Amino acid sequence: MIAPTPVTLEGHGVRLEPLVREHHDGLAAAAADGELWKLWFTSVPAPQETHAYVSAALAGQQAGHMLPWAVRDLATGNVVGSTRYHDIVPSIDRVEIGYTWYARRCQKTSVNTACKRLLLGHAFEALGCKVVGSAPTTSTSSRRRRSRRWARRRTA
């Protein structure tokens, strides 16, 4: 049975730091890059909602069904987003990767790939997960044309 606990993951130009309240200002700044809270297809906190966002993530961690991280770009030292394991089911060795968002300047860069590599590696190699879920590209909303076009190019 898996037992996910907070751990720092680093490589490929990013560091995933266990989310703590001190990440508040960095997350608020990252969300402000592109006013991400205005996007209908994702859940990014508006500046005044960042404390509640961090509190909810930490409550999920305390309850045992989430493990959140702040994403730090090692080149700049800035927090550029957040990601987490969620819907953790220890009895079947399963986690899902999600709640992921990045500052606009980091979208369509290597940041997402780097984070996913770290998260998948940790889940399978360190935790011993048998299943790691994530939203499949084919279920991406038809309104997210940009993401769907990019995904098709990557898999073609």
Q: What is the pLDDT of residues 130-151, one digit of tens each?
A: 999 986 543 444 444 554 454 4
Model confidence over 83-127: pLDDT tens digits? 999 999 999 999 999 999 999 999 999 999 999 999 999 999 999
The pairing of beta strand 79-89 with beta strand 66-73: antiparallel
Any domain includes 1: no
Query: Could you give the C-alpha distances from 80 to 11, 28, 89, in angstroms and in order?
Result: 15, 9, 28
- Total of domains in the chain: 1
Domain assignment of residue 74, yes or no:
yes
In a domain, 3, yes or no: no
Q: Which residues pair with 97 in a beta bridge?
A: 85
Is there a contact between 80 and 111 (Cβ–Cβ < 8 Å)? yes
* Parent domain of 31: 9-155
- The tokens for 59 are 């409550």
- Are 29 and 77 within 8 A, CB to CB? no
Looking at this protein, which amino acid is placed at residue 149?
A: R
